[in-house]
Amino acid sequence: MYSDLAEKDVIQVRTKFMKGNTIIDTSKLPKHIAIIMDGNGRWAKQKGKLRVFGHKNGVKAVRDTIEGAAEIGIKVVTLYAFSTENWNRPKHEVDVLMNLLVSSLKKELKLLQDNNIKLQAIGNLEKLPKKAQKELNEVITITKNNTHLILNLAISYSAKEEIVNAFKNISKKIVNNELSIKEIDENIINNHLYTRNLPNVDLVIRTSGEKRISNFLLWQIAYAEFYFTDLFWPDFRKKHLKEAIIDYQQRERRFGKTSDQLQNNE
């Protein structure tokens, strides 16, 4: 990645990602980071404000984190922006979240373009208000040829619904003789998920001290590492993303093998 940089520049770039004596190893970056942005409501409550104040400040955390991910060289970030269960929140809160989505997409288009970021969205997007769908589609189209980072927004998303849809679409192909049962394997299932063009998740980050997965990317996290922080989402910044990546890099990912096998490159 830094092959065209002088050694002194490499040292400078590396220094930027230092935490204590530890630096991010740019040769071992997680390809796909998925973030459960939790704690907006509690953050606001602590300050004696309404929940929606937390969501508004959550947008600042989104901006800084995405900028940080682009600087570090992460290829895909999926943000859990709105679950199918979130439709059950009070109407006013849902309306504010939908309006925030539209206004943020408009405001952050420059950030996306300046950082060569491609926007994608997964979920039951037809349930979104027409205005939000239109804004989302516009930004997706404008950024579709960007290549540095994919920002994948999970909106009106449910992992179980995603898997049910995959089953339905695979079954249709079997009924139409386009696919046989024998052919069904992990790749076929991957190819029928919303995330079909994305690598599996390497690292899941959840803020606010909660340790749940909440119906998020259930198939794609099969071998992900988990990082939990007590910070509420509106306080999360790029330096916290770097801490999470450094923590991830200190883990041994064995994928079912033994430590010895890994050390012997078996």
Known catalytic residues? 38, 86
Minimum distance of ligand FPP from residue 103's CB (angstroms) = 8
Minimum distance of ligand FPP from residue 264's CB (angstroms) = 43
Whichever of 83 and 249 has its CB closer to ligand FPP, that residue is: 83
What are the residues whose beta carbons fall under 8 Å from the beta carbon of 84, sequence distance 6 or more? 123, 124, 127, 156, 157, 158, 161, 215
- Contact between 87 and 126 under an 8 Å Cβ cutoff? The reply is no
Closest CA to 34 of 257, 220, 238, 248: 220
Matching residue, tokens 């925030």: 100
Whichever of 109 and 246 has its CB closer to ligand FPP, that residue is: 109
In the region spanning residues 165 to 224, those forming contacts with ligand FPP, defined by CB under 6 A, are 208
Minimum distance of ligand FPP from residue 41's CB (angstroms) = 3
From the number of C-beta atoms within 10 Å of its C-beta (0-12, 13-18, 19+), residue 86 rates as middle
Helix (H, G, I), strand (E, B) or coil at 195: coil
* The length of the chain, given as a count of residues: 266
Whichever of 81 and 244 has its CB closer to ligand FPP, that residue is: 81
Distance CA 32, CA 195 (A): 11
Minimum distance of ligand FPP from residue 145's CB (angstroms) = 21
**Is 39 a residue that touches ligand FPP (CB under 6 A)?**
yes
Minimum distance of ligand FPP from residue 152's CB (angstroms) = 11
**Is 42 a residue that touches ligand FPP (CB under 6 A)?**
yes
Q: Which of 62, 77, 136, 139 binds ligand FPP (CB under 6 A)?
A: 62
Q: How many residues bind ligand FPP (CB under 6 A)?
A: 20
Whichever of 81 and 170 has its CB closer to ligand FPP, that residue is: 81
Q: Which string of DSSP letters, residue by residue, matches 179-233? A: S-GGG--HHHHHTTSTTTTSPPPSEEEE-TT----TTSSTTTTTT-EEEE-SS-G
Cα end-to-end span (Å), the chain? 27
**Is 100 a residue that touches ligand FPP (CB under 6 A)?**
yes
**Is 86 a residue that touches ligand FPP (CB under 6 A)?**
yes
Matching residue, tokens 């704690």: 39
Whichever of 64 and 71 has its CB closer to ligand FPP, that residue is: 64
**Is 151 a residue that touches ligand FPP (CB under 6 A)?**
no
What are the residues whose beta carbons fall under 8 Å from the beta carbon of 65, sequence distance 6 or more? 35, 77, 236, 237, 238, 240, 241
**Is 79 a residue that touches ligand FPP (CB under 6 A)?**
yes
Cβ count near 80 (within 10 Å): 23
Q: Using CB under 6 A, which of the segments 94-102, 193-201, 242-250, 256-264 binds ligand FPP?
A: 94-102
Closest CA to 69 of 12, 132, 111, 130: 111
Distance CA 185, CA 170 (A): 11
Q: Using CB under 6 A, which of the segments 3-11, 39-47, 161-169, 219-227 binds ligand FPP?
A: 39-47
**Is 78 a residue that touches ligand FPP (CB under 6 A)?**
no
Binding site residues, ligand FPP, CB under 6 A: 37-42, 55, 58-59, 62, 79, 81, 86, 97, 100-101, 104, 153, 208, 233
